[in-house]
Structure 1
Amino acid sequence: MPKINGNEIRPGNVLEHDGGLWAAVKVSHVKPGKGGAFAQVELKNLRDGRKLNERFRSDDKVERVRLEQKDQQFLYESDGRLVVMDMETFEQVELDAELLGERRPFLQDGMTVTVEYFGEEALNMALPQKVVCKIVETEPVVKGQTAANSFKPAVLDNGVRVLVPPFVGQDENIVVNTETFEYSERA
């Protein structure tokens, strides 16, 4: 694995540090009035989710890890385990449902997800940025209610609550951003 200097760390980099795999969440470069410059890095452990703030000087060497990304198709869920299929080898793999965290409700049968592997270990799962959901409950459409930036609450078919514009009614399909949990557009 390539070693990089402490001042070359960027957000999104995966580092091997203190015997674990850490993702750099935030990086700020600090040049104090006295002493050498350093990078203040907020790290998140990819295995257990712990957070850590660490200082790296420019002459510190850290291992940068490259994760292998594979597109896989979600098949079904069984006992808190997600079963996905490799699109090239058609091999089925069971993954922990905790990989998705709060984005879990947006996972749909047959959806293509991107799984990041370190060797044989799955560390992260990414959903498509936008998914189509159906509104099962919201207030009725009121004519003339076109005030700018007015939103109303709605419940989706997966149980997630989002805010939608006033012109969107019940039983309509909408596109939701899976990263921000916000309404994007009508489907």
Structure 2
Amino acid sequence: MKINGNEIRPGNVIQHKGGLWVAVKLQHVKPGKGGAYAQVELKNVVDGTKLNERFRSSETIERVRLEQKDFQYLYAEGDMLVFMDTETYEQIELARDFVGDERAAFLQDGMQVTVELFEEKPLGISLPEHVTLEVTEAEPVVKGQTASSSYKPAVLENGVRVMVPPFVSAGERIVVDTSEVTYVRRAD
């Protein structure tokens, strides 16, 4: 889909210089002399390199629509993670480093994830915002600590370390934010 240079918004994916780029930051500039333009910081979807470009309103850019599909996490096989398309039941394998080691630790059997695809090629993956995990190790509360500001380290069943309030102990289930890797609340 063709759009004008001044219609780019943060989050848009465009085809530019033979690659796919996502607009990260955007600033509209109206100089005293000459035409207005959009100063856009772009990030390459594939390798993560950054680029600053100017787009005039008279230029046309190819905006790309990414297909979002629901997949179910099945299992890990070596360095590969296996997912199944919930509509067609086809399986795909994604490298652990594509997902990210820290985020891959939050994958649980049967978990629903969203994979962004461009021409059937996976470009990104989103995990659920929150997951429930059991605390396997938590330091005991130190007498005199106040519950308002002091957090203590804890280890979750998936091996991830997270800071928790003093009242959380080993064996409890807690809700964790997957993007920030932070404690949210006790699980119900």
Q: CA-to-partner distance for each residue in 1:98-152, whole Å, 9 max, x for gaps?
A: 2222412111111111011111111111100111122222211356643423222
Q: CA-to-partner distance for each residue in 1:29-61, whole Å, 9 max, x for gaps?
A: 233444433222222211122222222222221
Match of 1:22 in 2: 21
Match of 1:136 in 2: 136
- The one-letter code matched in structure 2 to 1:172 is E
Give the 3-state SS of the residue equivalent to 1:110 in structure 2.
coil
Distance 2:175 2:167 in 1: 15
Q: Could you list the runs of 5+ residues in structure 1 that have no partner in the other structure?
A: none
- The one-letter code matched in structure 1 to 2:65 is R
Match of 2:6 in 1: 7
Distance 1:181 1:7 in 2: 36
Distance 1:165 1:85 in 2: 37
Q: Could you list the runs of 5+ residues in structure 2 that have no partner in the other structure?
A: none
RMSD, aligned CA:
1.8
Whether the aligned pair in 1 keeps the contact of 2:15 and 2:64 (CA below 8 Å) is yes
Deviation at 1:74, TM superposition (A): 0.7
Distance 2:90 2:152 in 1: 44
Q: Identity over aligned residues, as a percent?
A: 65
Distance 2:28 2:148 in 1: 40
What are the equivalent positions in structure 2 for 1:37-186 lying under 5 Å apart?
37-101=36-100, 102-142=102-142, 145-186=145-186
Distance 2:185 2:31 in 1: 46
Distance 1:151 1:59 in 2: 54
Whether the aligned pair in 1 keeps the contact of 2:29 and 2:36 (CA below 8 Å) is yes
Whether the aligned pair in 2 keeps the contact of 1:152 and 1:166 (CA below 8 Å) is yes
Whether the aligned pair in 1 keeps the contact of 2:3 and 2:60 (CA below 8 Å) is yes
Q: What is the TM-score when the length of structure 2 is the normalising length?
A: 0.89
Q: Aligned residue pairs: how many?
A: 186
